[in-house]
């Protein structure tokens, strides 16, 4: 069952989380907490706590945002994003519809070939999960 919140998110999230997760913003590259983070565990939605990515699927793409080659099946949804004069695929949390980032077809060729480029502020990390 999906979580639907509107103004309530303003009271539950930091202003930067709200800007990214709800208003579909993007954090500055190389500034996020999880860009160079490689502990074992799981990355969950910063808004609702849904488990999204396993640490084993994270890689250093050098793009300035946390990158994963795949998401946990059923945890994310994909939406066309034609903003900024380009066609991209937006990635949102399947549970609360929070904006996470985008997925690109330039990931590791030895795995999925995908690069989930995700805002750190849209994530939380659960060690050892």
Active site residues: 117
Q: What letters, b where the CB count within 10 A reaches 16 and e where it falls short, cover 75-90?
A: bbeeeeeeeeeeebeb
Which pair of structure tokens corresponds to residue 42?
Answer: 């799981």
How many residues in total does the chain contain? 129
Which pair of structure tokens corresponds to residue 25?
Answer: 């913003």
- Alpha-carbon distances, residue 65 vs 3, 4, 27, 117 (angstroms): 26, 27, 9, 6
Q: Which residues on adjacent β-strands are paired with residue 124?
A: 44
């Amino acid at each position: 069952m999906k979580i639907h919140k509107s103004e309530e998110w303003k009271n539950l999230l930091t202003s930067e989380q709200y800007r990214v997760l709800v208003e579909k913003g993007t954090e500055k590259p190389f500034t996020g907490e999880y860009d160079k983070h490689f502990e074992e565990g799981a990355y969950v939605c910063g808004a609702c706590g849904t488990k999204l990515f396993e640490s084993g699927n994270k890689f250093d793409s050098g793009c300035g945002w946390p990158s994963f080659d795949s998401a946990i099946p059923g945890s994310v949804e994909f939406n066309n994003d034609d903003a900024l004069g380009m066609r991209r695929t937006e990635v949102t949390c399947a549970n609360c519809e929070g904006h996470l980032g985008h997925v690109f077809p330039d990931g590791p060729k030895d795995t999925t070939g995908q690069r989930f480029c995700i805002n750190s502020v849209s994530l939380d990390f659960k060690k050892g999960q």
